Structure 1
Amino acid sequence: MRKTFVCILFGIAFSFFNCSNEGKKEDEKQASSKMPVFALLDSASFDFGTIQEGAVVEHDFKFKNEGEYPLILSNISSSCGCTTPEWPKEPIGPNETSSIKVRFDSKNKVGPQVKTITVYANTEPANTELRLKGIVNAAPKPATGK
């Protein structure tokens, strides 16, 4: 009789615990669905092809905030000083589009190149990676006259 009573109490406690967790999960799901969403309109990678050393390549990564709250890009960093990002400093409202301009200077960069640009925002996950890639051919050497 005592074992049965303990089992019933345990069952009731477990069902209350399970119900309270379901409510928390539902609250978390609702909160995350309302967060800003950084959605790229094109690819996260841009192949600039083959260029001559010294050329500067620019590309706009277009994106949209598909969340319910304003999207704030807090910082953007690049894997190399030769790659410079420009981004909007003001919040991007729900369903608004904008872009991140990335400029790659190929001076003193010869051969295959892959540059990573990390976007930090108030999203889940908190960062997104973009890539520029291509090949830089060496600039021709000036002819020496004898």
Structure 2
Amino acid sequence: MKKVILSLSALCMVAFTSCKEDAASKVKSENVAQAAERDAVAGELPVISFEEAEHDFGTIVDGTPVETKFKYTNTGKAPLVVSNIKSTCGCTVPQDWSREPLAPGESSEFTVKFNGKGKNQITKTITLTTNTEKGSEQVKIKAFIEPDPNAPQKAAGSASIKQVN
């Protein structure tokens, strides 16, 4: 047992002393400068600010299509990229947004179309995939949907009670 411990100790000594070269001599000064520049810029992220984060269509009749535009500005220090915009369902369609980088201080917009289907109060969320710190941002639309007074009325169903003896 003593021989095994002594052998392992000798092996460890050889392994630790073989890496005697100074690690600092292997680091290139150009790489250090590039890393420092990259780390300084890494803290500068785009920030998206919306003119309105929630749009209320008010009261609409069932089946009435509506649309709105969401305007936003890059209030950060780096270019803003909106790579995707999607909604929680197919009844709400975001479109017409730029996938090009938006410089700090610049503004843009996108359109959201809603088919107006539903009952009572509805809220739909639209999610933007961005290069902001959070990685995604959200806006909402809402409306109160009234039944269409011109829609054909559905006939009431009939029910019967069966007596069991």
Q: TM-score, normalised by structure 2?
A: 0.63
* Structure 2 equivalent of residue 102 of structure 1: 112
Specify the SS of the correspondent of 1:67.
coil
Q: Alpha-carbon deviations, 1:64-94, whole Å to 9, x = none?
A: 0112221110111101100000121221111
* Structure 1 equivalent of residue 31 of structure 2: none
Q: Alpha-carbon deviations, 1:40-59, whole Å to 9, x = none?
A: 1x221111100011111111
For residue 126 of structure 1, the aligned residue among 116, 122, 135 is 135
Distance in 2 of aligned mates of 1:131 and 1:85: 11
Bigger shift: 117-126 or 83-92?
83-92
Name structure 2 gaps, 5 residues minimum.
1-37, 154-165
* Structure 2 equivalent of residue 35 of structure 1: 45
Tell me which structure has the larger Cα radius of gyration. Answer: 2
CA RMSD of aligned residues (A): 2.1
Aligned pair 1:80/2:80, yes or no? no
Aligned pair 1:111/2:120, yes or no? yes
Alignment of 1:35-74 (within 5 A): 35-40=45-50, 42-74=51-83
Residue identity in the other structure for 2:69:
D
Aligned pair 1:142/2:156, yes or no? no
Name structure 1 gaps, 5 residues minimum.
1-26
Distance in 1 of aligned mates of 2:62 and 2:73: 33
* Structure 1 equivalent of residue 99 of structure 2: 89
How far off its partner does 1:28 sit? 6.7
Number of paired residues?
115
Residue identity in the other structure for 1:31:
A
Bigger shift: 134-143 or 120-129?
134-143
